[in-house]
Structure 1
Amino acid sequence: MAERVRVLLVDDREENLIALEAILSSLDVVPVRARSGEEALKALLSSDFALILLDVRMPGMDGFETAAHIKRRERTRNIPIIFLTVVDSAPDYAFRGYAAGAVDYLTKPFDPWVLRAKVAVFVQLYTMNQRLAEQSALLRERLAGEVSDGVPSKGGAGQVSLLAELSNRIAAIEDEFKRVRELADKSADSMLNGAVNELGVRISHLRSGLDALQ
């Protein structure tokens, strides 16, 4: 059984964490709480996360400093970050958020449906990337086996079965990607569309590699 995807919630206020958990309750994710930037960085050392919802205003290490630490680490630099802050924040907060590596910036009170939809898309992207990495590893193993054998073999029943299974798995990813592509297009979010486009290129490369092997 596949492990459920984790989303890191970072906020120093208990009521905000409760509200975020309620908003995400209909999604098949595991919300993980952090009450400070330091707690967030500690959580990121031991677990993988699809997304980070990060409050800007926190005592001690604020959201911008926390994000800077996250983006400096090799393990965590590619985790998407959505900044959350109150509507009366300084006018340059949005700019600082994007400069710190955020994929989005929402002001409180935000529409829970909008946040849930954004989280759902990023979770889907994360899941698809994980599945794509697994299929890529399987394809690399097969390609390595072909190279070690010298001349590619076309007739082995085991190979035909494996390639057919790989093709079906990639087809399922391609179908799911179409749905994610439609959601991203509707959102008109340039950063989200960039992540989707990057995933599309990876899927195309994997399909091309499989086609060449077949």
Structure 2
Amino acid sequence: MADRAKILLVDDREENLIALEAILSSLDLVPVRARSGEEALKALLSQDFALILLDVRMPGMDGFETAAHIKRRERTRNIPIIFLTVVDSAPDYAFRGYAAGAVDYLTKPFDPWVLRAKVSVFVELYNMNKRLAEQAALLRERLAGELPPGDAVDRAAVLPELARRLGAVEEELTRVREQARKVGDTSLSGPIADLSERVAHLRAGFDALM
């Protein structure tokens, strides 16, 4: 079975981490806790994450500083970050959050359905990107001639399987677009557009083989 996507939950308060895990418990993902910015950066050294839910107000390294470190690292700069903070935070917190590279900003107490819906779409995008990378590698092998182009048996085995996988990704992309539309989250438009472009390029490469 494929590895489940991991979500990094960063908050210095245990009760907040427990609440986040409860909200996300119905989703097919693995929550990973971090009680500080330092713990979060350590976790990011050895694990891959689909999304980071990052509290703004933490002692020591706060959420903004943590995000700055994440965005400076080549390995982690493209991981989406959603900032979480209390509703009475300073009025410039939202601006600072987006300036630090966050894709979204939610105030506590937030609607559990909204958070779950946003996380769900980001997880699906992450999983689709992983599958797309695998299929692109298979296509590159074919284009590079690593799989003998004249082998009829090999072509019969590889191309139909690649067509099936690519078709499944295209169908899932359509479904994710619809899900994002229902959520009404404009922060998802960029990642979805990037993925759509990658799928289109892969489709063009595959069509060239047929």
What's the TM-score bracket when you normalise by the shorter of the two chains? over 0.9
8 Å contact 2:114–2:183 — kept in the other structure?
Answer: no
CA distance in 2, matches of 1:189, 1:99: 18
SS in 1 for 2:144: helix
**1:115 aligns to what SS in structure 2?**
helix
- Alignment map for 1:1-214 (pairs within 5 Å): 1-145=1-145, 153=150, 156-214=152-210
| Structure 2 spans left out of the alignment, 5+ residues | none
**Could you tell me whether the CA contact under 8 Å between 2:9 and 2:53 is conserved in 1?**
yes
After TM superposition, the score normalised by the length of structure 2 is 0.97
What's the offset of the Cα at 1:160?
Answer: 2.5
RMSD: 1.3
1:50–1:126: 8 Å Cα contact kept in structure 2?
yes
Identity of aligned residues (%): 77
Unaligned runs of 5+ in 1: none
SS at match of 1:3: coil
In 1, the alpha carbon distance for the partners of 2:74 and 2:129 equals 17
Matched to 1:68, the amino acid is A
TM-score (norm 1): 0.95
What amino acid is aligned across from residue 182 of structure 1 in structure 2?
E
Deviation at 1:156, TM superposition (A): 1.3
State how far apart, in whole Å, the 2-side matches of 1:27 and 1:184 are.
Answer: 16
The code of the aligned residue for 2:156 comes to V
Equivalences, count: 210
SS of the equivalent of 1:32 reads strand
Q: In structure 2, the residue corresponding to 1:145 is in which secondary structure?
A: coil
